[in-house]
Structure 1
Amino acid sequence: MAATADRPLSIDLAPTDRIAVIAGGGDLPRELVRGLTAAGRPPFVIVVGGEDRAGLTDGDHTVLELEEYGRLLPVLRAARATHVVMAGSVSRRPRLRAIRFSLGLLKLLPGIVRGLGRGDDALLRVVVSHIEAAGIKVVGSHQILPDILAGPGALTRTRPAAAHQAGIAAGLAAARAIGALDIGQAAVAVGRRVVAVEGVEGTAGMLARVRDLRASGRISMPGGVLVKCAKPGQELRADLPAIGPDTVAQVHEAGLAGIAVEAGRAIVLRQADVIATADRLGLFVVGIDGPAS
């Protein structure tokens, strides 16, 4: 549900404050732009080069290639941005040899190299620290539109059966384990067995793998569950796990019975469509409690 003029944003803003959205791929940046605009706070949008621009370039915006990261702060200052929200996926990493370095960016280079060598969360922490050191506040998408977070319990008519609980527990443990290594945020369990964990290919790639494994007979037991949760100690303002209608369709194609996401720490994009699609396909979507970080 988007913010409206009658239903204000969840963060306090002064009349002169302005939010900039650094927009990657997927539906989340568009939901944020629509919500902010509806609330009378049209944002300045920085579209990450190479990502889908649909619905992001109608208002005040610019396109910034990953290798032009050194221009980020000057662009934000020129737009008079006081707050930044980072939303959406980025399909590739910057090419270090092609980065246009400034003096300030050279000082940041060791952190960027370490982040590139470790994982997404490590790199995002470097970016967040760089922006906030310039006096610009970084906020999470869920801090602007809190209704995009998954709530506890079943969202759908179909609920997980008792037989699914062991798979949910196994998938959650696996997702937390790879999250602690800054690898991914999701796992698939069939019965009590974890059959796939998320890598750099993302959730869609993992689900395609599960679909192919089932088609080849490597996974013979019916059903199973996709589990997504935040990484332990994750920078929650930048990369919360998310699902959307496409995820539901991919779960169905993989022969799974449903989805479990961490309540309060996972985003459900286009929630009405997620519920309608899952109900039509007979799948469950449920918000679960995750272990304490």
Structure 2
Amino acid sequence: MTGTSGKPLGIIAGGGPVPRHVANAATRDGRPVLILGIGGEADQTIEAFPHAYLQWGQIGRMQKLLNERDIEEIVLIGNINIRPDFRSMKLDLGAVKIVPKVLSLMTSGDSDLLSGVIKIFGELGYIVVGAHEIAPDLTVGAGPIGRHGPDAAGQKDAERAMIAARAIGAIDAGQAAVAINGRIVALEAAEGTDAMLERVAALREKGRLRWSGRAGVLAKCAKPQQDLRVDMPTIGLKTIQAAVDIGLAGIAVEAGRAMLMDRAEATSLADDEGLFVIGEPSGGPSAP
């Protein structure tokens, strides 16, 4: 875990449950927490902790709130559903000072963008740490999670889907892929994992994909160039429910480089539905 007990922590929060989980972990470690929720993205659950809401462009206000509490370490975590449009937002003085750098980043790929954001925060005097460093229980280890593991067909699909996910990650296109009966049927792009799974469901409903029982695996892994402090691949209840609804046999994620949210509930759901969830070692097969 980064930092020492009692050292204050700032959390810049998008949507989803991860910011709350990180805040709970920091609080248990004796660290005062301030959550700065992004307006329109952060959940109201952050209000269980000291918090404030920020609109895009309020960099100066963010600095003021963090500096008032002597916060040096920050976590950037949570879902961002709408990419900000800096041409239409009202920028405060703090944002105006860095807007040329921000605008240049907006034309970058996801990994370059996030690395640039970390650099900007460093220039502002903050240290960006990963959610998994504050709450290490989020990280998926190697092997099965829960009661179920893959059979031979499931293991083959897991390996095939992981190869595909690594391939698209190398070109900064996405983090996930689906293989069914040895065939790659979906690759993640800008739409994200959940929308990719909806696409698989639609293909099955139209008869473009056919299988009986549970078959196929969703694999998700970090891109080679990805900075895990701000963009570690994540699965949770929603992902597992989608895999169940589609009829997949399992989910494979890169061990040590992916997070599982709501672990107890997610594991219980997978166990009840006969779905396996496994952590695949990094550096696995790289060719079919």
TM-score under structure 1 length normalisation: 0.89
Kindly, what percent of the aligned residue pairs are identical?
40
* CA contact 2:36–2:54 (8 Å) conserved in 1: yes
Q: Which has the higher mean CA deviation after the structures are superposed, 126-135 or 257-266?
A: 126-135
SS at match of 2:253: strand
Residues 10-89 of structure 1 aligned to structure 2 (within 5 Å):
10-13=1-4, 15=6, 17-69=7-59, 71-89=61-79
Q: 2:187 aligns with which of 194, 197, 217?
A: 197
Q: What residue number does 2:218 align with?
A: 226
Structure 2 residue aligned with 1:214: 204
What is the one-letter code of the residue matched to 1:149? T
**Which whole-Å CA distance do the structure 2 matches of 1:183 and 1:78 have between them?**
39
Unaligned runs of 5+ in 1: 1-9
Q: Which shifted more, 269-278 or 126-135? A: 126-135
* DSSP-derived class of the 2:45 partner: coil
Conservation of the 8 A alpha-carbon contact between 2:5 and 2:30:
no
Q: Residues 95 and 228 from structure 1, CA distance in 2 versus in 1: closer, same or farther, beyond 3 angstroms? A: same
Q: 1:238 to 1:101 in 2, by over 3 A?
A: same
Q: In structure 2, how many angstroms separate the alpha carbons of the residues matched to 1:285 and 1:110? A: 43
Kindly tell me the number of residue pairs found equivalent between the two proteins: 283
In the alignment, structure 1 residue 261 sits paired with structure 2 residue 244: no
What per-residue deviation string (whole Å, max 9, x for no partner) do you get for residues 150-188 of structure 1? 010011211111112222222112211222222221111
The 8 Å contact of residues 59 and 94 in structure 2, kept in 1 or not, is answered as no
Match of 2:276 among 281, 284, 292: 284
Is the 1:187–1:198 Cα contact (8 Å) retained in structure 2? yes
SS of the counterpart of 1:194? strand
| C-alpha displacement of 1:114 | 3.9
Task: Give the match's secondary structure for 1:55.
Answer: helix
Query: Contact 1:84/1:138 (CA < 8 Å) preserved in 2?
Result: yes
Counterpart in 2 of 1:147?
A: 137
Letter in 1 for 2:43: R
d(CA) in 2 for partners of 1:90, 1:18:
24
RMSD: 2.1
**Per-residue CA shift, 1:252-291, capped at 9, x if unaligned?**
1111111000000000111111111000000000000122
The C-alpha deviation readout for 1:184-242, integer Å capped at 9, x for no partner, is 21111112221111222221111111111111111113411010100112111001001
Aligned to 2:151: 161
The SS at the match of 2:232 is coil
After superposition, the Cα gap between the structure-2 partners of 1:266 and 1:101, relative to the gap in structure 1 and judged at 3 Å, is: same
1:7 maps to none
Runs (5+) with no aligned partner, structure 2? none
